[in-house]
Amino acid sequence: MTQSISLKVPEELAHHLFFPEKETILEKERYAGWSETIPFEAFPYELLYYNNVEAYAPWTKGAMHVKELLERWKGIDSECSLLFSERKAGQTLGLMKQGIGLFLTAVFWMHGQPVALNDIRCQIQPFKSIPVNMDERLSFILARPAFFHSYRQLSELFREFEKQYVKFMIKNKNSQKNV
């Protein structure tokens, strides 16, 4: 039997796009380990972490999971592209929210950190492998998530981030060989 727990949305994750309510409900057992079926864009592992509930911490092995996040984006990207080409922008908000969540998750996890939405600019400042002007572009996307231009920016951010990720993985593989 799975146990559902009610969690307060911590200040680190308080953002109206992702958490319009002050509380959310999660099934605790589902997050004891890794599963590709988990909706990462809702930051469930981070919700548990910031509420001091013991659970798997994927950012400790983040670079390992980033590839899966990038693959998941490709499906969302093609759905968004189709909807925008059919001029159905109003139907893209949910997909864009998922895409933005996946992007933030990938960036933070690759740098070994849980996602923190409060003051993103300060949070990402120490990160080495991120796209150019990411903070300004993210601000634009978060302010207008269902706009076509936001989708294009998010798509570009993913494309640039994927290159950074590949470089990061090659660099880490080489540094492990030299040890």
Q: Per residue of the chain (179 residues), give pLDDT as tens.
A: 568 889 999 999 999 999 999 999 888 888 888 877 777 668 999 999 999 999 999 999 878 899 999 999 999 999 999 999 888 888 899 999 999 999 999 999 999 999 999 988 899 999 988 999 999 999 999 999 999 999 999 999 999 999 999 998 998 876 665 44
What DSSP element (H or E) covers 4? Answer: strand 4-8
Residue 80 neighbours by CB distance under 10 Å = 26
Rounded to whole angstroms, the Cα distance separating 46 from 105 reads 10
Residue 158 neighbours by CB distance under 10 Å = 21
Taking phi over 0 as left and psi of -120 to 50 as alpha, with beta for the rest, 87 belongs to left
Query: Which pTM value belongs to this model?
Result: 0.91
What DSSP element (H or E) covers 24? Answer: strand 23-27
